[in-house]
């Protein structure tokens, strides 16, 4: 009976995580895109749900929630499913999506998708050669063999995310990195943008009037043919007519300038909003967190470097040491060993979540800028 109750709790939590991942994908990641790939949404939501479920099982293991046999059973199921998604489903669909966008390979996209997936599996398997993760006790496609390689890739990605978060978090939340933006700067840039747009409109009007004049005079139907005729039409123009090629080049240059001015204006508005946000209570709170996590990350990097250089083994982390100093100074009864593990776990979780969140937001901005420039 307890196993059924534990299973119902896990299934309910997975459904809730799936719905939250679906809403996050729709409302946050791809809210500005009209193209919807429902397979991508399902894969993202399922991966998000099983990842959160495994994180939930870790918390249940620490707190002693649910039966141990139920936790082990659901841990094995979640591990098998997420390995199936990460190693087989996601790489295959990425290859299928890449091949589908190539017109020459569109008719045989399933075959070439399989070839891309086999290529991925070859390099994925060869990844384990430099590391001592091969064991003759386990099969080729056993959980131990797969999770060891996924662990190598995951640790590498987490190291990159930690480096990105260590730089992006202070830059995002600390008011020290905000540049001073005034209304005068924004008005001056908007004035330049409006002047550029007026110049584009005036030049396009000249082009339209010149085409109309050429059409009325019959010059459109009597264009010279051949290579030398094309060169002559570009380099020379009739008396009183406009050089349309030169004007079109000027319009293209002005449109590129207007695009850059628009992006700079949007960046100034975003910076101004960050300045106004930093003056609020919530902004000051996040500014303090930015300083705190910056000092925490710098201290961890410094101590890790010292331990590597002098071949030391770190026994006490900064959180435990800080709690011990505080408890000894105040002279209160406090279980340092128990609470330091939970506080360290929460801090590491916050750093991981903010790093992934910052990376996703930055990637969304990059894709949005690419979309605007197109």
Rg of the chain, C-alpha, whole Å: 30
What is the predicted pLDDT for the residue at 358?
65
What whole-number distance in Å separates Cα of residue 131 and Cα of residue 149?
9
What is the predicted pLDDT for the residue at 221?
46
Tell me, yes or no, if the pTM score tops 0.85. no
What is the predicted pLDDT for the residue at 162?
67
What is the predicted pLDDT for the residue at 16?
93
What is the predicted pLDDT for the residue at 15?
92
Three-class HEC string of the chain: CHHHHHHHHHHHHHHHHHHHHHHHHHHHHCCCCCCCCHHHHHHHHHHHHHHHHHHHHHHHHHHCCCCHHHHHHHHHHHHHHHHHHHHHHHHHHHHHHHHHCCHHHCCCHHHHHHHHHHHHHHHHHHCCCCCCCCCCCCCCCCHHHHHHHHHHHHHHHHHHHHHHHHHHHHHHHCHHHCCCCCHHHHHHHHHHHHHHHHHHHHHHHHHHHHHHHHHHHCCCCCCCCCHHHHHHHHHCCCCCCCCHHHHHHHHHHHHHHHHHHHHHHHHHHHHHHHHHHHCCHHHHHHHHHHHHHHHHHHHHHHHHHHHHHCCCCCCCCHHHHHHHHHHHHHCCCCCHHHHHHHHHHHHHHHHHHHHHHHHHHHHHHHHHHHHHHC
What is the predicted pLDDT for the residue at 98?
82
pLDDT (tens place) for every residue of the chain, 374 residues total: 578 888 888 889 989 999 988 888 777 666 655 556 778 888 888 888 888 888 888 888 877 888 888 888 888 888 888 888 888 888 888 888 888 877 777 777 788 888 888 888 888 887 777 766 656 665 566 777 777 788 778 777 777 766 676 676 677 667 777 778 888 888 888 899 899 899 989 888 888 888 888 787 765 444 455 555 555 554 554 444 557 788 888 888 888 888 888 888 888 888 888 888 888 888 888 788 778 777 777 777 787 788 778 777 666 666 677 777 777 777 777 777 777 777 777 777 776 676 666 666 666 666 665 555 55
């Amino acid at each position: 009976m307890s196993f059924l109750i534990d299973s119902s709790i896990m299934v309910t939590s997975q459904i809730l995580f799936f719905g939250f991942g679906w809403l996050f994908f729709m409302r946050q990641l791809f809210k500005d895109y009209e193209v919807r790939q429902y397979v991508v949404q399902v894969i993202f939501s399922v991966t998000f749900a099983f990842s959160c479920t495994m994180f939930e099982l870790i918390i249940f293991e620490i707190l002693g929630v649910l039966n141990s046999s139920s936790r082990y059973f659901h841990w094995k199921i979640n591990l098998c499913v997420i390995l199936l998604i990460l190693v087989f489903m996601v790489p295959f669909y990425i290859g299928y999506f890449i091949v589908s966008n190539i017109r020459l390979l569109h008719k045989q996209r399933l075959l070439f998708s399989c070839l891309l997936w086999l290529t991925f599996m070859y390099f994925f398997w060869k990844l384990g050669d430099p590391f001592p993760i091969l064991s003759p006790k386990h099969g080729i496609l056993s959980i131990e063999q797969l999770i060891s390689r996924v662990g190598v890739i995951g640790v590498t990605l987490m190291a990159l995310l930690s480096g990105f978060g260590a730089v992006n978090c202070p830059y995002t939340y600390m008011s020290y990195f905000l540049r001073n933006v005034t209304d005068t700067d924004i008005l001056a840039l908007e004035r330049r943008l409006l002047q550029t747009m007026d110049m584009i409109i005036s030049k396009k009007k000249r082009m339209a009037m010149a085409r109309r004049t050429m059409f009325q005079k019959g010059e459109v139907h009597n264009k010279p043919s051949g290579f030398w005729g094309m060169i002559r039409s570009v380099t020379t123009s009739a008396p009183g007519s406009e050089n349309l090629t030169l004007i079109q080049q000027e319009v293209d240059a002005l449109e590129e300038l207007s695009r850059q001015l628009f992006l700079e204006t949007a960046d100034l508005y975003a910076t101004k909003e960050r300045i106004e946000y930093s003056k609020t209570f919530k902004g000051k709170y996040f500014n303090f967190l930015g300083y705190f996590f910056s000092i925490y990350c710098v201290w961890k990097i410094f101590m890790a470097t010292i331990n590597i250089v002098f071949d030391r083994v770190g026994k006490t982390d900064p959180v435990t040491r800080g709690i011990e100093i505080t408890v000894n100074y105040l002279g209160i009864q406090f279980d340092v060993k128990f609470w330091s593990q939970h506080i360290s776990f929460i801090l590491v979780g916050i750093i991981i979540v903010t790093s992934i969140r910052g990376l996703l937001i930055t990637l969304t901005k990059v894709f949005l800028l690419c979309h605007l420039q197109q």
